[in-house]
Structure 1
Amino acid sequence: MSAFITPTALEEFAQYLRAEDRSSGTIENYLRHVRTFSKWLGERPVTHVKCAEWKEFLQQQGYSAVTINSMLASLNRFLDVAGFGTCRVRPLRIQRRIFQKQERELTREEYHRLVAAARNQGRERLALLLETICATGIRVSEVRYITVEAAHTGRAEVSLKGKIRTILLPGKLCRKLLKYAKDRKIASGEIFLTRGGHSISRKQIWSEMKSVCSAAGVAPTKVFPHNLRHLFARTFYQASRDVVKLADILGHSSVETTRIYLISTGEEHAQQLEQLRLVG
């Protein structure tokens, strides 16, 4: 086995990830991280020492611990698949995070402003897309499962990462989806399509969401599809207090993953401390 990262090795890695039913977005991330390492490595062979040096390099460049661990996870998976398992590096140890950064958390009020801004601009598809993701908690890669048939039955069958789960659609959302589909003469299949009749891409969804930030008065750092999923999770949990059920709805195999979605901001925690009234 050659101790160098070759285009063939990267393609074999991509095929391996596809065989694992990884989403296209996940595969993109894995490959991007490995290519970043390969570019830094240059003509040098892959060794444990070089992998450890890359970890140090990322820290020196000011990457966050979470980002570094994500990049290392991608690299370690590649090393295993490519036969370089002895070169794996340990992730950084991070104390469990108990606060969410306030500048990253999308509030309910901000979400409603985004929807209103999209509708004021006559962009009904974007407005309805925002509502659909936020009202169901689906991943952006699962938007294609929102079909006319699903809107009629009130449930969408999602198949992703080797698992099949049922997503319930609120009645009001179903009525909006069916009206939208009827107005655009979409009789069956996917509802969110491009003008050419193709599935709307992850990149396009991101771009369209960012484009209404200014009109809505919401910081772009808060606006991306996954934050709508986080808002759904927090809102659902506040109503049900059932983290196990929430994990099933979100399609998480671990409740610990779901708990990450429920981290509150430091400001909210400070308010809770004030309400304790333990200072005379």
Structure 2
Amino acid sequence: MKINDFKKWLLNQNLSENTINAYVYAVKEYYSNYKKIDKEKLLSYKGYLIEKNKAKTVNLRLQGVNKYLEYLEESALKLKFVKIQQKSFLENVISNSDYEFFKNKLKKDDNLSWYFVVRYLAATGARVSELVSIKIEHVEQGYIDLYTKGGKIRRIFIPKKLTKETKVWLNNMSRSSGYLFLNKNGEQISTRGIAHHLKELARKYNMNEKVVYPHSFRHLFGKNFISKYKDIALLADLMGHDSIETTRIYLRRTSEEQQEIVDKIVNW
């Protein structure tokens, strides 16, 4: 087992910390059940995953193991992913009214650091792992360029109105450099720290915790953008999707919206 060397190899692949941790976890889980790697044991591990997890989790684990096989130069042993049945609706996405309520509450309570966390998630479509990488210097230039899988550059634009508002906030705190979002110790905030505190804020304001999580605001960005500007290829680029098929989900309505339409229309 060469976990540490594998981790170093992954670091050179321009992968996010969350992805690396997920891949390493998968390999450790495999070795906790099997002593060596061969096709029979790999298939057995896949069966174990299918029995215990949802399809999305299964594929994430398999992706990690496949990366490890690539590292070992055993690509012929790679496992096929399981098919994910796509839902015909978006689920657990914060509504525009709840988003407005949330950010207005934060602003009224002068909780500006978290007001801007919520604003940046919803107005840029950034993943939380991308959000924590934004620096004040990026606010100044109006965008951040990030390297993604395969060495591609993903540019996240910061809207002019949000840039202007952020500069006023930063000026009032006499901040001119470094990471935009900090923890209590003045260090770069973690993705886990953001997710955890958003749940605390949801409870404080009696909001539905199921819709207050980082990716929910990214979904809101996608949903709102496609409703105002019908260019799905552009949205795919803005969100960093490899395939337009992934972006098509934003053409769908949320389950709540579907229910509302059915209740309004069906009278027979």
TM exceeding 0.5: yes
Given that 1:233 and 1:262 are in contact with CA atoms closer than 8 Å, whether structure 2 keeps it comes out as: no
Q: Distance in 2 between matches of 1:64 and 1:210?
A: 23
Given that 1:110 and 1:216 are in contact with CA atoms closer than 8 Å, whether structure 2 keeps it comes out as: no
The equivalent position to 2:162 in structure 1, one of 173, 184, 191, is 173
Q: Distance in 2 between matches of 1:39 and 1:263?
A: 41
Task: Letter of the 1:93 partner, please give it.
Answer: K
Shift of 1:32: 1.8
Going from structure 1 to structure 2, the CA distance change for 1:12 and 1:204 (only over 3 Å counts) comes to: same
Going from structure 1 to structure 2, the CA distance change for 1:152 and 1:90 (only over 3 Å counts) comes to: closer
Using the size of structure 2 for normalisation, the TM-score is 0.86
Q: Does 1:148 align with 2:136?
A: yes
Query: RMSD over aligned Cα, in angstroms?
Result: 2.6
Shift of 1:195: 4.4
The equivalent position to 1:124 in structure 2, one of 102, 108, 112, is 112
Pick which of 237-246 and 249-258 moved more. 249-258
Task: Letter of the 2:106 partner, please give it.
Answer: A
The equivalent position to 1:230 in structure 2, one of 187, 197, 219, is 219
Question: After TM superposition, what 4+ stretches of structure 1 lie above 6 angstroms from structure 2?
Answer: 273-277
Q: Distance in 1 between matches of 2:13 and 2:169?
A: 35
Given that 2:7 and 2:24 are in contact with CA atoms closer than 8 Å, whether structure 1 keeps it comes out as: yes
The count of residues paired between Structure 1 and Structure 2 equals 266
Q: Does 1:29 align with 2:22?
A: yes
Using the size of structure 1 for normalisation, the TM-score is 0.82
Task: Letter of the 1:112 partner, please give it.
Answer: E
Task: Letter of the 2:128 partner, please give it.
Answer: V
Deviations 1:126-184 (A, max 9, x none): 1111111211111222225544344344x113222133344332233122211221122
Going from structure 1 to structure 2, the CA distance change for 1:268 and 1:31 (only over 3 Å counts) comes to: same
Deviations 1:46-65 (A, max 9, x none): 2222222222222332x212
Report percent identity of matched pairs.
27
- Structure 1, unmatched stretches of 5+, are 1-5
Given that 2:89 and 2:249 are in contact with CA atoms closer than 8 Å, whether structure 1 keeps it comes out as: no
Shift of 1:121: 4.8
Shift of 1:274: 7.4
3-state SS of 2:119 partner: helix
Q: Does 1:58 align with 2:45?
A: no
Going from structure 1 to structure 2, the CA distance change for 1:190 and 1:89 (only over 3 Å counts) comes to: closer
Task: Letter of the 1:33 partner, please give it.
Answer: A
Task: Letter of the 1:131 partner, please give it.
Answer: R
